[in-house]
Every structure is written in structure tokens, then in C-alpha cells.
Structure 1
Amino acid sequence: MTPAVWLVLLGLTDAAFSGFRAYAGRDARIRKHRATARAALRGLAVGSVLLLVPALTAALLLLTASDTARTYATLTAGGFGYLLPLTVYAAGVLLSLAAYFLLPFRASTLATVVGLGPLTLLRPLAVAAACLGALLNGGGWPALLVGTIAGGCVLCVEPAVHRRWYPRVL
């Protein structure tokens, strides 16, 4: 199976969380499930549009390549290299989320402070590690180009959602 499917799913999931993070802390109501779901959908919508840019870049690289099969193989190898660091990062996030939802209140708060907080701050480093992984795994400059564009787009989702829907404190 091509790594592109997994990378798109990871990118869209990250976009939904980015939408949630853009909204988080803006509403003091206790019952805000509808608002957080709306925020996640906003992030998903913005992420879907932004992730078209690396997809179009990869398609353009394939359409203009003299050897399409070789370029596809290079992009696939780079995609697997890109996927490995992101999978490790996503596993850490999932472990922290599981602790948050399954543990008692104090322990779940600790899981947020120790796990989710620092992992959110490490997102740009995870993207940089993924770009390096794409390059080192044999993806060359095409995979590095697509990966860098994809990473930049994913990192722009939260600021875009924040700027569009949550520009001021409620």
C-alpha cells in the first residue's frame, strides 16, 4: 500500500486536532461538545484544502518527470521515510490521549501536562524529522520538496483556523 494514503489520513487527523486547538480555551461553558466538534470540522476543512498543495506538487512532479516510474518509486521511498517519524510521534499522541481518557482525573491531567502539551510544541520538530526521513530513505529532492510543502501546510492549519474564526477572545 502506498504511504500517501497513510500520510493523508495522518494529515487530516492532525488538521482536525489543529482546529480543536485553535478553539481550545476560548469558551468557559461546561457543555461545549458542539463547539469543539465544529472547531475540529473547521480544521479538517482547512487542512483538506491545504493538503491539496502537496498532492498537486507530487502530481506535477510525476507529470513533468522524464522517467515517471523512477520518480514514483523515489516519491514512494520518501513517503515511507516521511511516515516513520510521524508514526512515532502519532503513537506518543495516541498514548497520551488514551491516558487522558482512561485514567482518573488527576492522572489524566498529568497526562495532558506531561504528554500532550510538550508533544504539541514538538510538532514542528516532528515535521522536520519527517522531511529528513524522506531524504535519508532515498526520496531525494522530489520527496523533500513534497514533504516540506506538506509539513508547511499542516503547520499552517491551526493559525489559519485561529485567524479566520477565532481572532479575538470571547
Structure 2
Amino acid sequence: MTSTPPLVPLALLLLGLLDATFSGFRAYAGRDARIRKHRATARAALRGLALGAVLLLAPALTAAGLLLTASDRSRTYHTLTSGGLGYLLPLTAYATAVLLSLAAYFLLPFRASTLAMVIGLGPLTLLRPLAVAVACLGAFLGGGWPALLVGAIAGAAVLGVEPAVHRRWYRHVL
């Protein structure tokens, strides 16, 4: 194995957990007409985080399985790390755009923040699957088939959080 700290896997985990938290929030958003719903939105975000943490075990276990069964673990670790970096770069660009839109939403006056929501967060939410697909391509280009396998499982995990939270807790109108 290598002695370098696992910065790429840690960054991917943190990004995945952040995405899962937002997915939990999105699963709940628009379901409740109350004005004061801070507890409910926090609960929805925590549900997304918890489910995301469980679902993200799948790519972690896949990567561990690939490492444990590899004849050259150091080479496999390097391959997975390179693929992880290729996966991380497009997602970092996407996350930066989302965070800039969120900052605009929270910091600008009402009309400008509404515009930030409509032209920023709305389309970016719809582009999430495309961002994951580009990340999978980056994983493949960076690390080949093993990295693509782990990346595709991770992509399915993060894209599965919102529908799973919605189905489990918010299917019925409140």
C-alpha cells in the first residue's frame, strides 16, 4: 500500500455525504406549506445524510474488495486513487456551481435570490445525473475499469438517496 494520506477518498466521501444531505432536503422540499419548518427540513436533511452514509458503503466495500483481491495492491490503490481524482474533478466543479448559487440565494435581495434559484439551483439539480456521468467518465479515464466500477456504484448510491428518502418518508402528501 502507499503511505500517502487518503485525501481523494476522503474528499469523495465528504462530497457524497454533503450531496446526500441536500438530497434529503430536496425530497422534502415543497411538501409542507408551513412557514416555520426548520425542524422538518433539518430532519429531512439528516435522513438524507443517514441514508447516504449507508448507501456509500457500497462503493467503499467495492473498492476494499478490489484491493483485497488484487495481486498488486499498491498498483490497484494507485489506479483507484487516480480514478477517484478523475471522478472528483467534475464533481468539484459541479459542487462549486451549486455552492455559488446557494450563496447567491442566501445573500442577495429577494428578487435576485429568486433569480439565482431559478437559473442556478433548478437547472443544476436537473444536471446532477449528467455531472455523475461525466465523473464516471473521469474515473474511467483516470483509472480504467476498476475505477469506473467503483465510480458507477458511488454514482448510483448518491443518485438513489433522494428517491429513497422520498419513498420512505414523503410519499404521501402531508
Give the Cα–Cα distance (whole angstroms) in 2 for the partners of residues 136 and 47 of structure 1: 26
Name the amino acid aligned to 1:165: W
Match of 1:116 among 112, 118, 121: 121
- What is the identity percentage for the equivalent residue pairs of Structure 1 and Structure 2? 81
Runs of 4+ in 1 over 4 A off after TM superposition: none
Aligned twin of 1:145: 149
Cα separation, 2, equivalents of 1:102 and 1:89? 20
* Gaps in structure 1 of 5+ consecutive residues: none
Question: Could you tell me which of 48, 58, 62 is aligned with 2:67?
Answer: 62
Q: For 2:76 and 2:65, how far apart are their aligned partners in 1? A: 11
**1:94 CA drift (Å):** 0.5
Q: How far did 1:169 drift?
A: 1.1
Aligned residue for 2:171, secondary structure, equals coil
2:86 is paired with a residue of what secondary structure?
A: helix
Aligned partner (choices 126, 129, 139) of residue 134 of structure 1: 139
Q: Select 1:161's aligned residue among 162, 165, 169.
A: 165
Q: Counterpart of 1:100?
A: 105
| Paired position in structure 2 for 1:88 | 93
In structure 1, C-alpha distance between the alignment counterparts of 2:140 and 2:151, rounded to whole Å: 9
Give the whole-Å Cα distance in 2 for the aligned partners of 1:9 and 1:42: 16
Instruction: Report the TM-score, using the length of structure 2 for normalisation.
Output: 0.96
SS in 2 for 1:27: coil
Deviation at 1:89, TM superposition (A): 0.1
Alignment partner, residue 38 of structure 2: 33
Q: Does 1:52 align with 2:27?
A: no
1:167 positional shift: 1.0
Q: Give the Å deviation of 1:84.
A: 0.3
1:72 aligns with 2:62: no
Please provide the CA RMSD for this pair: 0.6
| Cα distance, 1:136 vs structure 2 | 1.3
For 1:161, give the aligned amino acid: V
SS of corresponding position for 2:13: helix
Query: Cα deviations across residues 84-114 of structure 1 (Å, max 9, x unaligned)?
Result: 0000000000000000000000000000000
Q: Which amino acid aligns with 2:84?
A: G
TM-score by length of 1: 0.98
1:11 is the counterpart of 2:6: no
Equivalenced residue count is: 169
